Amino acid sequence: MSDSAAREMIAEEVLLKAGALQRAILNSANFSSIATDAKGVIQIFNVGAERMLGYAAAEVMNKITPADISDPQEVIVRAEALSVELGTPITPGFEALVFKASRGIEDIYELTYIRKDGSRFPAVGSVTALRDAQNAIIGYLLIGTDNTARKEAEEALLKAGALQRAIFNSANFSSIATDAKGVIQIFNVGAERMLGYAATEVMNKITPADISDPQEVIVRAEALSVELGTPITPGFEALVFKASRGIEDIYELTYIRKDGSRFPAVVSVTALRDAQNAIIGYLLIGTDNTARKQVEAEQRKLDQRLREQTALLSEANEEIQRFVFIVSHDLRSPLVNIMGFASEIDTSRKQIFARLTELRTQVGGEQNVENDNVLHRDVEEALAYIKSSVAKMDRLIAALLKLSREGQRQFLPQSIDMSQLLQSTTEALAHQARDANVKISIEDLPAITSDRLALEQVFSNLMDNAVKYLRSDVPGSIDVRATESDDSITYEIHDNGRGIEARDRDRIFDLFRRSGIQDRPGDGIGLAHVRTLVRRLGGSINVESEPNRGTIFKVTLPRRWHQQTSEVVA
């Protein structure tokens, strides 16, 4: 057995004696484990070292020392610093790397390693002296971790502007930087505050996937697999895959705190790259989305309530429409009988009294003629009341039917020249207007997009009323004008008529209610009809009036009628 073989065996033995953790480190691809002899010549060069440094073990074993793969300038600086610190001259070479360990001083330091291809990376090295049974040093073990991610993250953040620095230092943003594999390297104060972990509890230990809702990570992995057409592991990969492909990625995710509680976060992911553009880690900046989520949930609840209320309302509305429709028809049926049989009785009445007169003539009697005439008139009068009441009842039912139909009719919005519409309404009233000696003037009115038939009914009712309820002692005057706002138009009909008492100004819009002296024909239907239509058109109607001076009806309508602007209030 050669000297070097013996040393190697001893080194391995030592390592074997060490616990599982050390074994794991030696076998890990994430740690470079380099064992040397006492002179520094490399004896063991593990898989992690091969991966990080780019050398095959055979290329370095028994050939070079760790100083040969370290930044020479740094080795010189370190040798000088140690010489000063320990008060003894230390050679800038392998000695500088292991001197402290050789003196039994624990030694962990940062160093730049140089790869086979000449590229460099920052490493954190831990050095231990290997000793034989007599406690003589037989070699050294240098365990290194690639410090690139942390270094680069720190540098990237330093390079980034004041805003990013502020974010990074802010307690309101959780900034988590990881290495390329996802292992957390930086965990800022905001992350500590939000997640309840101290940085030391997570750094080099877990990945952000470990503090995310596992179910969400799975769902996200599946969704991304589908979206990007490539299988994505439900783990850290799912959190950064897009960022790793250079796709901007901001998403919502539930973070889980140390105490197990959860909160919704909005996370923005950036890949950290080295000078060669290779990914060396990721930066995940998260904000607590709880407040926004709560607002959104509240909003959804309100929306839902509104939808339910609207549905209830339109259901109730439909029910009323059906009710009115059915009742109107079923009320009509008995009226046909009352009217029919009253008329039949009227026919019989004529026959009976004719027969009475005939019989009286036959017996030549003259007594009680006056009584018979009174009786005749009474029956005639009673039947006349029955018939006129039935006729009125029929008109009222017809009005109910009309209202119910208007409530169901589909509106057809179109652009309407309102000046023209009012003009033709006025022409239809020309006869009454002449009789009432009224002057009607219509200003230039803004056009509107609405239902023509409905507007014709609204304004012909209002104009008809204006003409109908003028005063007889002054010449009538009716003006139609309009005022506009951004999204609505108010059309005003001014008259100098008899006016409406204050107490009646609400009643006039009720069905079958009328105001003032009842000296004009009408059933109290017009304004109820008008209000129903205006409301369905998404508008409103108001009245201003002064008894014996005049009345102004103001109809405010949306410039453009849409389906959803009405119905609810109909």
Other CB atoms within 10 Å distance of the CB of residue 328: 19
Nearer to another protein, 108 or 326 (CB): 326
> From residue 58, how far is each of 15, 49, 121, 228, 539 by CA, in Å?
20, 12, 22, 41, 90
- Shortest reach from residue 520's CB to another protein, in Å: 23
Nearer to another protein, 68 or 394 (CB): 394
Hey, CA dihedral for 539, 457, 321, 400, is it positive or negative?
Answer: positive
Within 8 A by CB and 6+ apart from 21, the residues are none
Nearer to another protein, 404 or 496 (CB): 404
Nearer to another protein, 51 or 402 (CB): 402
Rounded to a whole number, what is the distance in angstroms from the first to the last CA of the chain?
A: 104
Q: Which bin fits 322, alpha (ψ -120 to 50), beta or left (φ > 0)?
A: alpha
Nearer to another protein, 330 or 381 (CB): 330
- Shortest reach from residue 323's CB to another protein, in Å: 15
Nearer to another protein, 342 or 557 (CB): 342
- Burial-class residue 185 by CB neighbours within 10 Å (0-12, 13-18, 19+): buried
Tokens representing residue 136 in the block: 């003589």
Torsion of CA 47, 49, 52, 55, to 10 degrees: -90
The DSSP code for 150 is: H
- Shortest reach from residue 294's CB to another protein, in Å: 49
Given 3-state DSSP classes, what are the helix, strand and coil percentages for the chain, each rounded to the nearest 5? 50, 25, 25
Nearer to another protein, 267 or 342 (CB): 342
Torsion of CA 83, 84, 86, 91, to 10 degrees: 0
Within 8 A by CB and 6+ apart from 495, the residues are 466, 469, 470, 476, 477, 478, 479, 550, 551, 552
- Shortest reach from residue 335's CB to another protein, in Å: 5
- Shortest reach from residue 525's CB to another protein, in Å: 17
Nearer to another protein, 67 or 390 (CB): 390
Q: How far apart are the C-alpha atoms of 432 and 545, rounded to whole Å? A: 22
- Shortest reach from residue 341's CB to another protein, in Å: 7
Q: Are 167 and 134 in contact (CB under 8 A)?
A: no
Nearer to another protein, 325 or 353 (CB): 325
- Shortest reach from residue 566's CB to another protein, in Å: 21
> From residue 521, how far is each of 58, 428, 468, 518, 526 by CA, in Å?
117, 18, 9, 8, 12
Nearer to another protein, 189 or 396 (CB): 396
Task: Say if strands 476-484 and 540-546 run parallel, antiparallel, or are unpaired.
Answer: unpaired
Tokens representing residue 327 in the block: 């009742």
Nearer to another protein, 15 or 383 (CB): 383
Q: Which residues bind another protein (CB under 8 A)?
A: 325, 329-330, 332-337, 339-344, 387, 390-391, 394, 405
Tokens representing residue 428 in the block: 């239809």
Other CB atoms within 10 Å distance of the CB of residue 233: 13
Nearer to another protein, 331 or 543 (CB): 331
Within 8 A by CB and 6+ apart from 14, the residues are 130, 131
Q: Are 252 and 266 in contact (CB under 8 A)?
A: yes
- Shortest reach from residue 402's CB to another protein, in Å: 11
- Shortest reach from residue 394's CB to another protein, in Å: 4
Nearer to another protein, 199 or 335 (CB): 335
- Shortest reach from residue 404's CB to another protein, in Å: 10
- Shortest reach from residue 454's CB to another protein, in Å: 17
Q: Are 242 and 224 in contact (CB under 8 A)?
A: yes
- Shortest reach from residue 530's CB to another protein, in Å: 22
- Shortest reach from residue 330's CB to another protein, in Å: 7
